Amino acid sequence: MGAVVLLAVMVTAFVGCKALLDLSGAAQVKGVWMGSTTLPCTYTPSEGFTQQTLTWSMERDLSTSTIFRRDSSGDHILLSRFRNRVSVPKSSPGDASLHITDLEIPDSGHYTCQVIWRSENYSLVTKEVTTMVKVAKVAVTKPVIVAGELGLAVPVGAKASLTCVAQGSPPITYRWFRAVPGRSGQLLGSEAELVWNSLQPSNVGMYYCEVQNRVNTGIVQRSDAVELTVRDLPEAAVTSENAVGYPETDETTQSSQRTHLYLIILIAVLGGAVVFLVIFAIACTRKPKNESIYEVAFHSTADVITLDTDVEVPVRCRKEKINSETEVSYENITMICNNYESTTDNSYESICLNKNAESETLVNAMESEYKVQNFQ
């Protein structure tokens, strides 16, 4: 009885494991010429079973060729015409789907996904699923215009965009037009998206796009026209003094401008004061040209002083203090000094020096009397 129960448990576990490792796929996938598609192949990973190999093969015209193989050595693309066009996810356990880009008409056929797992006791479990792929050229569909984030009513100066969306076999060519009443549209661009970096009132109008591809050459699909409008800025952005709608100057900017003006004025005043002080200092330290220079020299006859006129005058002649008692004698000396001042250096030698001997006694007496009076 125990052996029967054990066998039943093992069969149940094996059946459950087989259910977990079943592959899921699609019976048919339609591909668009020059487009891309994905052939699904997925399973639920089971503990105790490790994926050992994954193989994608293609059957066409009763011939089967291996396209892709993944094993312990890595990924390998075995059919040259699929190089750089097929891939299988690596970081998604249980996902063995095949992604194909740049579909060609010969890519149509039956694709088989085969997965082999290895159990802990080294037994192997193999599963596979087949998908039929049909690649066809698809004519481009009628395009639809999609507006940007701000819609079709955009504030003046804002960025706006219109996108032309169409389906069909690539490559698809695009052309944008602006409707002109009574004439053919004005061509604006040849990209899928039409962009304005700063929308202006002059951009208001009706816009439409045209598309075509290599299928049914010559057939052009045109979208419905949409109207793009420009709305004014909010009232809060307009000042009472500026009725034309220019934005109000920010208070912070005005304060900054006033501060810069004050700094410029202060620098100008300080610079003027520095220049004035430098000029004043130079004027004060400059020595006058006509400044008198006095030099005292000693001669054998008497002390003399040199004046601006470079004429030597006896010191004793400058002592013009009048004494009542010696008024007559002082007047005589004064007359001699006056005669000296009206003569040249040569006459001085003939007048003052020649009379030195006659007046020596009188002069010495007067000097003694003057000194006594000065000390008193």
Average pLDDT of span 193-202: 93
State in Å, rounded, how far the first CA of the chain is from the last one: 164
Is the pLDDT at 185 greater than 70, yes or no?
A: yes
Is the pLDDT at 184 greater than 50, yes or no?
A: yes
- Per-residue model confidence as pLDDT tens digits over 88-136: 999 888 999 999 999 999 999 999 999 999 998 989 999 999 999 999 9
Which pLDDT score is estimated for 229?
93
CA distances from 354 to 52, 158, 346, 357, 359 (A): 148, 114, 12, 7, 10
pLDDT above 90 as % of the chain: 45
Bridging pattern class, strands 160-165 and 144-147: antiparallel
Kindly report the pTM of this predicted structure.
0.49
Higher pLDDT, 82 or 287: 82
* Collapsed DSSP state (helix, strand, coil) of residue 149: coil
pLDDT above 70 as % of the chain: 64
Which pLDDT score is estimated for 368?
64
- Per-residue model confidence as pLDDT tens digits over 257-296: 777 788 889 898 888 888 888 888 887 776 555 544 444 4
Q: Which helix (H) or strand (E) holds 123?
A: none
Is the pLDDT at 18 greater than 60, yes or no?
A: no
CA 45 to chain centre: 52
Integer Cα distance of 369 and 373 in angstroms:
6
Is the pLDDT at 82 greater than 60, yes or no?
A: yes
Q: Which residues contact 363 (CB under 8 A, 6 or more apart)?
A: 316, 333
Which pLDDT score is estimated for 158?
93
Q: Which helix (H) or strand (E) holds 258?
A: helix 251-285
Which pLDDT score is estimated for 251?
54
Average pLDDT of span 136-141: 91
Which pLDDT score is estimated for 341?
47
- Per-residue model confidence as pLDDT tens digits over 329-376: 445 544 554 554 444 444 444 444 555 555 566 556 666 665 555 554
Q: In sequence order, what DSSP letters do the residues of 2-37 get, joined into one string?
A: HHHHHHHHHHHHHHHHHHHT--EE-SEEEEETTS-E
Is the pLDDT at 66 greater than 80, yes or no?
A: yes
Which pLDDT score is estimated for 182?
86
Is the pLDDT at 53 greater than 50, yes or no?
A: yes
Integer Cα distance of 148 and 251 in angstroms:
33
Average pLDDT of span 72-78: 94
Average pLDDT of span 198-222: 91
Nearest one of 253, 237, 257 to 245, comparing CA atoms: 237
Higher pLDDT, 191 or 322: 191
Q: How confident is the model at residue 61 (pLDDT cuts 50, 70, 90)?
A: confident
Integer Cα distance of 117 and 41 in angstroms:
15
Query: What is the average pLDDT score of the chain?
Result: 76
